[in-house]
């Protein structure tokens, strides 16, 4: 895939962090531990499953802009392997995969719009029962 076909300037991201972090992130992506949630304009959101099973949310701006991650390493160093994982995973997408991710949240919104208010409430309550972070977020 040529650089014109990729979302991110991998060399620019590689330059932001220790080479070992970038290579570790590439291995995470290649292992399938990245779920690309959304590509909206130049913003990419991904969920990355860490080596201990923790889930991290990564947001990046393409091609070489700002980014963030919910992991402790990002808070400490301002860059992390999870960001590299999202860069690599996004760059591995072909046109079909990129289209799927670009439309993913729109499809979700369309599907949810078809449900009744009561069904949506029950769906959210079930999510809150299973995930303490969802419960905390909904409680304010």
Q: What is the per-residue pLDDT across 85-131, written as a single tens digit (0 to 9) for each? A: 999 999 999 999 999 999 999 999 999 999 999 999 999 999 999 99
pLDDT at residue 2 in the model: 53
- Residue 46's pLDDT band (cuts 50, 70, 90): very high
- As a whole number, mean pLDDT of residues 53-63 equals 93
Query: Which backbone phi and psi does 33 adopt, to 5 degrees?
Result: -90, 15
Element (H, E) at 60: strand 55-61
Instruction: Assign residue 32 a region (left: φ > 0; alpha: ψ between -120 and 50; beta: otherwise).
Output: left
Sort strands 43-49 and 34-40 into parallel, antiparallel or unpaired. antiparallel
**Measured between alpha carbons, how far is 67 from 57 in angstroms, rounded to an integer?**
11
pTM of the model: 0.86
């Amino acid at each position: 895939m040529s650089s014109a076909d990729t979302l991110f300037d991998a060399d620019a991201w590689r330059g932001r962090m220790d080479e070992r972090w970038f290579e570790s992130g590439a291995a995470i992506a290649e292992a399938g531990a990245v779920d690309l949630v959304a590509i909206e304009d130049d913003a990419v959101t991904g969920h990355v499953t860490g080596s201990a099973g923790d889930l991290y949310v990564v947001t990046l701006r393409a091609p070489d802009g700002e980014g963030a991650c919910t992991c402790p390493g990002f808070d400490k160093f301002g860059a992390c392997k999870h960001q590299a994982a999202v860069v690599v995973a996004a760059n591995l997408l072909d046109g079909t995969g990129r289209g799927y991710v670009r439309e993913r949240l729109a499809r979700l919104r369309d599907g949810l719009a078809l449900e009744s208010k009561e069904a949506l409430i029950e769906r959210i309550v079930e999510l809150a029962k299973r995930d303490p972070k969802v419960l905390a977020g909904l409680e304010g």
